[in-house]
Chains A and B, each alone.
Chain A
Amino acid sequence: MRYASPAIERAIERLSRLPGVGRKTAQRLVFHLLRSPQDETEALVQALLELKRKVRYCSVCFNLSEEDPCQICADPQRDRSTICVVEQANDVVAVERTGQYRGLYHVLGGALSPLDGIGPEQLRVAELVRRLEGGTVREVIVATNPNAEGEATAVYLARLLKPLGVRLTRIARGIPVGSDLEYADEATLARALEGRTDL
């Protein structure tokens, strides 16, 4: 069914492009918005616009940030000799939540997955190698997800980075196999970081 108002149609069409949102959900959202006060909707629009305007990738670690370099990279208190490599910006949040880690990060932007056309060039691997060339970094902790893709990525990085003379470690498999870092609870993730082993 189509609505008489093109504005409604347009809003539904736009919203249903979002991941996990079908036409039904989009309709529900649109009618919710129509019923809400004007300033609610304006605040939402404002938030979305700011998202695009302000958030960018940190040019050092590729974490999402409003500053460049990001707060973590700019923090003089952080230990510059350790880099924790993760797949996504969400994983940085997860590791930070443990409160156990004081080093820097590197966000790969995913994991190797030939089925999705993802090879090393689709990830921020070259950028990681460049960060190690300075000689400040002594340990790289590979904290990719404990699933097929994350493990293969860890092995790939180990093979690539070993010759550079840094210590390479992998977080322990305390996290349930096949799950995502993002969903591990703090205590488990802290233990996994603690019990990391050499790659």
Chain B
Amino acid sequence: MRVVTLHLTNYRSWKECGLAFHPQLSIVIGENGSGKTNILDALYLASYGRTLRGRDEDAIRWGERESSVRAIFRSEGGAERAVQVTLGPEGKSMFLGGRRLEGRTELVGLFPLVLSSSDDLDIVRGDPERRRNFLDAVASLLYRGYLDTLREYKRTLRQRNRILLEMALGRGGSMVSALAAWTERLVVLGEALLRKRLRSLEELGPQLSEYYRELVGGGRCAVRYLSRVDVDVDDLRAALEKALAVSAVEERERGMTLVGPHRDDLALEVDGTDLRKFGSRGQARAAALALRLAEAKLVASRGEPPILAVDDAFSDLDDRRAERLLAQTTGFQTILTSAEEARTRELLAARAAHGRVFRIRENQVMEEVLA
């Protein structure tokens, strides 16, 4: 998939901004606060039907009523399709071609985009929830219906937790007699999630290692599923039942379900060092990038290669790694941003890359073609 043009009107800091991207490499250069991330944010909106940061209505340019983003995408086969998303006082409306879409789900997946931002450091270093969310997003790309199962699991969990809470408080009455039924549903749904998460990791792991090695030039990066459930067995259902049985007394005391997919985590390691706690910033950044590249590869294995966007592409990377990042992005249409003009130009000169540079100056975008 490629994005051919992107047009922003009253979107965040931009009154008007039009970009015609290069089929391979586009680089947006501009000072801090010049609106680079806002451009990627708009691209994200056109692909996912919601803004990257904050609430949709916050993206309307201050003092304006309505904001719109238009994008033209081109598939591998050459078919072009136009997406328009409008944000206004009446909310959001989305159009594909001229047809108005019912909701986001109609849009998601049509124009695949994998976006890496500096927030991705939190996937490596932040709360387990960030890693679970990342894995859930990957699993939902690979498995149809995963999100439905996840949603039902979360709802079932809340329901079951209410019974446990009532029990912890010495109440519960007739609800308690239904605990076993809720537990059975939690196990069925939990097992389905576990299985798909583990399969996703099996595919993601090797890609992660490879991209990490190629970005860094060495080092073994590995990812492991962490759970109080024994996930090394074939019968995951029995394993989950057992883990629940082991925690049965404790969960009734604390009034919540203590084991299951909602409590699990990923261990990210480089040469055996746990990056969550001990990794350097550069290592964590490289791992975060490698995770996104691996995700892009998995998306490509299921259909169209996604568009790859990397915000603040070279920050936290030394020169060698920055050069290697430029080399790694081939195979995808790539859009990078950078606040470091001189350094970025040097990197581009060293790699003699084909592409297009968009230089932001005083709210204007100047376009330059690289040799």
Interface residues of A (CB under 8 A from B): 112-115, 117-122, 147-149, 151-153, 155-156, 159, 177-178
Bound form: Cα–Cα A147–B153 in Å: 10
Interface residues of B (CB under 8 A from A): 145, 148, 151-152, 155-156, 158-160, 162-163, 166, 173-178, 180-182, 184-185
CB-based nearest A residue for B152: A148
Residues on the B chain within 8 Å of A178, using CB: 148, 151-152
Do A177 and B148 contact each other (CB < 8 Å), given the known contacts A119-B175, A120-B178, A155-B184?
Answer: yes
Secondary structure of the B contact surface, majority rule: helix
Please determine whether B177 and A114 come into contact, CB atoms closer than 8 angstroms.
no
**Whole-angstrom distance from the CB of B133 to the nearest CB of chain A?**
20
Q: How far is the CA of A70 from the CA of B160 in the complex (A)?
A: 36
Query: Could you tell me the distance in whole angstroms from the C-beta of A147 to the nearest C-beta in chain B?
Result: 7
Does B174 lie within 8 Å of A119, measured CB to CB? Answer: yes
Complex Cα gap A152–B185 (Å): 6
Q: Is the CB of A114 within 8 A of B155?
A: no
CB distance from A19 to the nearest CB of B (A): 22
B178 touches A115 (CB 8 A): no
| Given A112-B178, A177-B152, A178-B152: 12 more A-B contacts, CB < 8 Å | A112-B159, A114-B178, A119-B178, A120-B175, A122-B174, A148-B159, A151-B185, A152-B178, A152-B181, A159-B180, A178-B148, A178-B151
Chain B contacts of A152 at CB under 8 A? 156, 159, 178, 181-182, 185
Chain A residues contacting B173 (CB-CB under 8 Å) are 119, 121
Minimum Cβ distance to chain B for residue A197 (Å): 14
- Cβ B162 vs Cβ A115 within 8 A: yes
Measured between beta carbons, the chain B residues less than 8 angstroms from A113 are 159
* Chain B CB within 10 A, most for which of A119, A120, A122: A119
C-alpha gap A153/B177 in the complex (Å): 12
Contact B174 A120 (CB under 8 A): yes
**Contacts A152-B182, A177-B145, A178-B151 given; does A119 touch B156 at CB 8 Å:** no
Report chain A residues within 8 Å CB of B160.
114
List B contacts of A159 (CB < 8 A).
180-181, 184
Residue of B nearest to A113 (CB): B159
**A114 and B175 in contact, given A155-B184, A177-B145 (Cβ under 8 angstroms):** yes
B159 touches A149 (CB 8 A): yes
Q: Is the CB of B152 within 8 A of A114?
A: no
Contacts A120-B177, A122-B174 given; indicate if A114 touches B185 (C-beta within 8 A): no
Point out the residues of chain A lying under 8 angstroms from B162, CB to CB.
114-115
Residues of chain B within 8 A (CB-CB) of A148 are: 152, 155-156, 159, 185
Sorted from nearest, which 10 A-B pairs have the closest CB atoms? A119-B175, A121-B174, A156-B181, A148-B155, A114-B162, A119-B174, A155-B181, A177-B148, A148-B156, A114-B163
Q: How far in angstroms is the closest Cβ of chain A from B183? A: 9
Please measure, in the bound complex, the distance between the C-alpha atom of A155 and the C-alpha atom of B145, giving whole angstroms: 21
CA distance A29 to B173 in the complex (A): 43
**Shortest Cβ gap from A20 to chain B (Å):** 20
* CB-CB under 8 A for A115 and B159, given A147-B152, A178-B151, A178-B152: yes
- Which B residue's beta carbon lies closest to that of A114? B162
Q: Which residue of B lies closest to A121 (CB)?
A: B174
Q: Name the residue in B155, B162, B176, B178 with the highest tally of chain A Cβ atoms < 10 Å from its Cβ.
A: B178
17 A-B contact pairs sorted by A residue (CB < 8 Å): A112-B182, A113-B159, A114-B159, A114-B160, A114-B163, A114-B166, A114-B182, A117-B175, A118-B175, A147-B155, A148-B155, A148-B156, A152-B156, A152-B181, A156-B178, A159-B184, A178-B151
Q: Which residues does chain A contribute within 8 Å of B163, judged by CB atoms?
A: 114
Q: Measured between alpha carbons, how far is A199 from B163 in the docked complex, in Å?
A: 24
Q: Which B residues are CB-close (under 8 A) to A177?
A: 145, 148, 152
